[in-house]
Amino acid sequence: MSNAREGDVIYRNSLSSGGEVRGWVMEGRGKISFPEGRLHMENELDPERYEDDAHFVYWCPEIFPDEIMIQWDFYPVREPGLCMIFFAACGLHGEDLFDPRLAKRSGRYPEYHSGDINALHLSYFRHKHDNERAFRTCNLRKSRGFHLVKEGADPLPPADDAMPPYRMKLIKDRAYVHFSINGLSILEWKDDGRRFGPVYGGGKIGFRQMAPLVAAYANLEVRRLV
């Protein structure tokens, strides 16, 4: 458990228009739009034809420090699919995520968990495959290496029953990670810095979706921890 408290806001974005996401980087063929003043994302490619090539990641261009709290509003629109957030993401040797020396990424999952970047990634709203929909969990992984380090029960209902927005809160405080939805604690984990390599520090944040999910996002906020 972390004893850190919310500090100053270091990044705030309503995600309400194209101007708000100027500079964001899409990897893969994702489509964005802003109905109702929210960032809607969906796949451009048909997953039946293109399979893993239909998925995508949308990166915030900011480099964030360690010891932060990330919050955003989540709106599931249409299933099936899966959502994920990457955080503390950078090159294996500390390079910026968009350093031209790193291999080009196109949204295919192995490029992110077994390529030349390090990241923590949390999957939530895992409604893609039958087994995920039958027994829903949120999964925290540490990569490079695709290490499943923690699971927690996912309280989010199917899109047809959802009453969003759902306020997501993710704390990254050095070795400690905590995730909650609408104030309900979902999972927490402390990295020992040995089993899966050194503790990660700062880096970039990105939203990943697996096709054919349609989802919306709003009111992204990052605060320092004190």
Mean pLDDT for the chain overall: 97
Read off the pLDDT of residues 114-150 as tens digits, 9 standing for 90 and up: 999 999 999 999 999 999 999 999 999 999 999 999 9
Q: Which residues contact 136 (CB under 8 A, 6 or more apart)?
A: 126, 127, 153, 154, 156
Rounded mean pLDDT, 58-82: 98
Residue ranges of domains in the chain: 6-99+112-217
* CATH number, span 6-99+112-217: 2.60.120.200
Beta bridge partners of 43: 30
DSSP 112: H
Rounded mean pLDDT, 11-16: 98
pLDDT at 2: 79
Share of the chain above pLDDT 70, in %: 100
Q: Give the Cα separation of 64 and 218 in Å (integer).
A: 19
What DSSP string describes 1-57?
Answer: -----EEEEEEEE---SGGGGTT-EEESSEEEE-GGGSEEEEESS-HHHHGGGG-EE
Read off the pLDDT of residues 154-182 as tens digits, 9 standing for 90 and up: 999 999 999 999 999 999 999 999 999 99
Q: Is the dihedral of CA 172, 24, 210, 102 positive or negative?
A: negative
Structure tokens at 122: 């949390």
